[in-house]
Structure 1
Amino acid sequence: MSWGSLRLRLVAGGVVAILVALTIAGAGLTLLFERHVTRTVGDELDVYVKQLVAGVDADAQGKLVVGRPPADPRFADPLSGLYWQVSDDGGQMLHSRSLWDTVLDLPRDEPSPGELHRHIIEGPANARLLVSERRVLLTVGDRRAPVRVAVAADLAHVAAAASHFARDLALALGLLGLVLAAATSIQVGLGLRPLDALRRGVADVRSGQRKHLPVDVPAEVKPLVEEVNSLIDAQEGEIERSRSRAGDLAHGLKTPLAALAADVALLRQRGEQDIAKAIEAVADAMSRHVDRELARARARGTARQRGGLSTPLRPLVESLMLTLTRTPAAQRLEFKTCITGEPSVPLDRTDLAEVLGNLLENAVRHAKSQVRIGAAATVNPAITVEDDGPGIAAAERACVLERGARLDERGEGAGLGLAIVQDVLSAYGWQLVLADSDLGGLKAVIAPEGSHDRMAASG
């Protein structure tokens, strides 16, 4: 698919939206996880603070003592990341062995007695510590002394847990992204299916299998279908009017041409051979143009309604052969029919008869002793008309297919002309190709457009 593909654009847009959404979701979930873990660590520190508060006291000399320190072994491991510290306003300080020779630099704070406060400070080895502290009042002698009890934990463990969580989450979100991308592709395919049905409908209209697009479509596409159907109706009417005008013009010229033919006969009777010949040549050229326009108008009108057209080939060929064998030029020739099976051709019988009749007339006019027509029992078979005449040089074949050209300018028969044959075939999506025949003369091949390889193989 190219970038001009609507499907590619929709899928790409969906994938980008999924990536952005999953990235934001991943960052948000990681942040929430880190906050959750930090809150859990804080709750654990609060428990340690309560244990310390329960064990802190002052002896008879007024010195601070901790009767029952927390039992977690990390408090005894130097720089383990878990620390506690007890201090008063007189400069006394007790701390866990894990602090070693450092102290917690607590911020200036005056929490109410019994109130827990949390801080993030810088601890040993520049580590970020989460601190939970509480202020208690101890009775020392005859006075009440404030004591700060603090427990801290290294947040590096929280960062590590968040990092591991982010990696696991990235894998999960990646798999989710693939599933969502596949779902997006399927959704886009389902959403564009009406457009594909619309494309097939247009192809059916173009091929003549239906006159209008199907109206059983989603509401979003229905206005377009209605407009296209209206356009088809308008074009159909215009084409019908054009066909009528062409037919009227062509038929209107028939009477003057017949009058010219009568005048030519009178001129010949009077001995005006040169003038008669010149007028006859002009009338013949005009007659061929009239025949061409009539054939084109009829073929285009029939081709637009060709859905279901099917003409059995063998009976038509036998009928044309029977007619040709009665002509003086064909009595000296041998006709061979090489048609396999009973193929049918998706052309109107009259149009196919005019095409084959014209090609057979040309073959009869140039053949020395033999004319052959062949076809295979396939769908839309290629039909060949061959003779053993002089043929046409490859460089001259394009010229004889030009408008108004004839295979033999010296001959008297006009027929439709090869250019008219092309017009009729083109209306049905077929084509005429000239090639060399193994009989020694010319081979004319009519086949559906785009079947060059098959025609080359048959040659």
Structure 2
Amino acid sequence: MMRHSLRLRLVAGGIVAILIALAVAGGGLVVLFERHVSRTLAQDLEVHLKQLIANIDLDPQGKLVLMQTPVDPRFADALSGLYWQVGDDRGQLLRSRSLWDSAMKLPADRLGPGETHQHEAVGPGAQRVLVAERAVTLTANGNPVIVRLAVAEDLARVSAATSAFAKDLSIALVLLGGVLAVASWVQISVGLRPLVALRGGVADIRAGRTRHLPSSVPSEVHPLVEEVNALIDAQEAEIERSRGRAADLAHGLKTPLAALAADAERLRNRGEREIARDIEAVGESMGRHVDRELARARVRGRTRGNAASAAVRPLVQSIVGTLSRTPDGARVSFDNLIGDDLRVPVDRTDLAEVLGNLLENATRHSAGVVRIKTKVGRPCIVIEDDGEGIDSTHLARALERGARLDERGGTAGLGLAIVQDVLDAYDWGLQLSRSKLGGLMATIGPRSALIEKAGVIGSERSPSSSVAQPQQA
């Protein structure tokens, strides 16, 4: 997966470019250093050559005489690497002690007056030497004598200095490469930070904390942000149209269902009770489907890009106050243990629909106590009663479309299937288990906060939506 990483590609490309640049720079610096050392060596040879020229002369008999030898002590050490040699066109030859019993073989080039030639040659012991030579004209008994003076030095000095420089330079380049690699990583990370912010913005949109990506982004990614925001607006408009069509269809079915109920009532009054009961069952089932589709259409539109939040305790108190005025609620004691500061990221109307359905079911099945509380350390809401609980077969049917916790009639609840749709829109789940009071305990909350080992009723696409099998109370 890392091979598809843009950051990794940029870093790898930067490291390759750094290595190439350092290799080229290192090679160039070594060449420049070698040329610098060679020029320094040539300058030293020029100095020695001038010393020879200043001290060479001819005696009255025409013999070459060196009045003073160069001061460098290496000229006196055998095969020291520094040599001088003076010869004329009559075969006379003077040489440094460092040449011992050998002579330098100079190229047969013509030297003009005042010209200094430099070239490489083979010196004593097969050494590679750099030679600087010049020709001067002396007079012996009125006759001109051409004297050729040469100074040479072993090039091993240049090679050793270049090798030492290359070694030190390689260490410096490795350190420089490491610093440049880290700098490249930092630069790429800073450059990609807007993309990380965009990813966070998309996550906020999915979580309902915002509706659009922020527009305060670098100009390079601003067109992408505009296109994504335009796409979000287009999708929201399409969702709104779909919600409207679903609502229109559901409301359009309300009138026929009301007429069907009236027809069933007339049949009952005429004595056709069985037919009336069948028609009412069909109408009730269709009504639950209509209610469910209305709830789904509303929830899908509301949770899209809308950061909803609701205070739980006042909402529970409101629902409990309404249920207390019903025949079932009049015989139940409601124990509201929800804290005053608890808020959940769910729209108040949707949360009222979920809690109202669960509290109504708990009230109908309770023997006398319904408790509403939160789980310690988890943002979950728990509703439990002291009734008989739910048989495992009924629990399995709770997820079916149009199913209710019981079939006693007389109520018009949304059913757990609609609760599931509402919670799915907020990435929440419903967990059913046995209460310590003896009845059913229903827990709602974020999926990550629900206990994995218990059955969680949630999205049909989620692996955590398997149905638990709690024991019957």
In the TM superposition, residue 293 of structure 1 has moved relative to its aligned partner by 1.1
**1:406 — aligned with what?**
403
Identity %: 58
Distance 1:353 1:153, change over 3 A: same
Aligned partner letter, 1:410 = E
Distance 1:282 1:88, change over 3 A: farther
Report 1:174-185 matches (<5 A).
174-185=174-185
Gaps of 5+ in 2: 455-473
Distance 1:288 1:215, change over 3 A: same
**1:384 — aligned with what?**
382
Aligned partner letter, 2:371 = R
**2:464 — aligned with what?**
none
Aligned partner letter, 1:100 = W
In the TM superposition, residue 374 of structure 1 has moved relative to its aligned partner by 0.9
Aligned partner letter, 2:51 = Q
Gaps of 5+ in 1: none
SS across alignment from 1:139: strand
SS across alignment from 1:218: coil
In the TM superposition, residue 24 of structure 1 has moved relative to its aligned partner by 1.5
In the TM superposition, residue 317 of structure 1 has moved relative to its aligned partner by 0.8
Note if contact 1:26-1:173 (Cα within 8 Å) is conserved in structure 2. Answer: yes
Distance 1:299 1:107, change over 3 A: same
**1:284 — aligned with what?**
284
**1:236 — aligned with what?**
236
**1:431 — aligned with what?**
429
Distance 1:145 1:235, change over 3 A: same
Distance in 2 (CA, whole Å) between partners of 1:123 and 1:288 is 110
Distance 1:150 1:438, change over 3 A: farther
**2:471 — aligned with what?**
none
Note if contact 2:211-2:306 (Cα within 8 Å) is conserved in structure 1. Answer: no
SS across alignment from 2:448: coil
Note if contact 1:343-1:377 (Cα within 8 Å) is conserved in structure 2. Answer: no
Question: What RMSD over aligned residues (CA atoms) do the two structures have, in Å?
Answer: 2.8
Verify: 1:354 aligned to 2:353, yes or no: yes
- The worse-fitting range, judged by mean Cα deviation, of 133-142 and 150-159 is 133-142
SS across alignment from 1:295: helix
**1:194 — aligned with what?**
194
Aligned partner letter, 2:336 = T
In the TM superposition, residue 454 of structure 1 has moved relative to its aligned partner by 9.7
**2:27 — aligned with what?**
27
What TM-score comes out, normalization by structure 2 length? 0.87
Distance in 2 (CA, whole Å) between partners of 1:211 and 1:269 is 55
Distance 1:129 1:419, change over 3 A: farther
**1:261 — aligned with what?**
261
Aligned partner letter, 2:407 = R
Note if contact 2:63-2:92 (Cα within 8 Å) is conserved in structure 1. Answer: yes
String of CA shifts for 1:371-392, please: whole Å, max 9, x gaps.
Answer: 22112698x9311122343345
**2:342 — aligned with what?**
343
SS across alignment from 2:2: coil
Aligned partner letter, 2:41 = V
**1:314 — aligned with what?**
313
In the TM superposition, residue 15 of structure 1 has moved relative to its aligned partner by 2.7
SS across alignment from 1:194: helix
String of CA shifts for 1:75-102, please: whole Å, max 9, x gaps.
Answer: 1112221111223344433221112233
Note if contact 1:445-1:455 (Cα within 8 Å) is conserved in structure 2. Answer: no
**1:363 — aligned with what?**
362
- The worse-fitting range, judged by mean Cα deviation, of 161-170 and 399-408 is 399-408
- The worse-fitting range, judged by mean Cα deviation, of 4-13 and 401-410 is 401-410
Distance in 2 (CA, whole Å) between partners of 1:299 and 1:436 is 29
Aligned partner letter, 1:46 = E
Verify: 1:71 aligned to 2:71, yes or no: yes
In the TM superposition, residue 241 of structure 1 has moved relative to its aligned partner by 0.5
Aligned partner letter, 1:6 = L
Distance 1:277 1:156, change over 3 A: farther
Aligned partner letter, 1:387 = D
Note if contact 2:394-2:405 (Cα within 8 Å) is conserved in structure 1. Answer: no
